Amino acid sequence: MQALNNTHQNAIAAAKRAHETATSKESIAKSKYETFGLEASYLAHGQSVRVAQCKADIDAFEAMFTTMASLPIKADKVALGSLIELIDNNDKSHFYFMGPSAGGLKVEYNQCCLMVVTPASPLGKAMMNRQLGEEFVLNVMQQQTEFEIVSIN
């Protein structure tokens, strides 16, 4: 959750800076050809949308953790909230957390780097509901890569 909160705070700061730039005296167009103010306002809008997305990510994770707290712990197949270790066909380990949103977010956990994936992503779709020891093939950068699920927590 700390990584999500950090991302949210960074988005708030960026939105504030973009808003200040869009509303500053220097952004006022002196001719119809000066578009800096207009461009700054588009950026400010985009940053405010990013703030809302970050807040929605935090809310989705809080809801997931609340739901998980009331369910029995099962680690027999990949589901929302699973921590998954995969080994590819080059014997390289990859660590993922199946989250409800914020796909692509990288987080340090127990001295290793893991990436959040969502069930909607290609990798998430390939992993969902698979069991420990199962193998699957995924097209990664136009190349077939085999993965084996070696742990689910």
Q: Flag whether pLDDT at 12 surpasses 80.
A: yes
Give dist(CA 35, CA 111) in Å, integer. Answer: 47
Q: Could you give the CA distance from residue 85 to residue 83 in angstroms, rounded to a whole number?
A: 7
Mean pLDDT value of segment 15-30: 89
3-state secondary structure (DSSP) of residue 63: helix
Rg (CA), the chain: 21
Q: Which CATH class is domain 83-152?
A: alpha beta
φ and ψ of 131, to 5 deg: -105, 165
Q: Residue 32 has what pLDDT? A: 82
Q: Which residues contact 135 (CB under 8 A, 6 or more apart)?
A: 146, 147, 148, 149
Q: Give the residues across from 148 on adjacent strands.
A: 87, 135
Global model pTM greater than 0.85: no
**pLDDT tens per residue, range 61-92:** 999 998 888 777 667 899 999 999 999 999 99
Element (H, E) at 92: none
Alpha carbons 151 and 134: distance in angstroms, whole number: 10
Query: In the numeric block, which tokens belong to residue 103?
Result: 């796909």
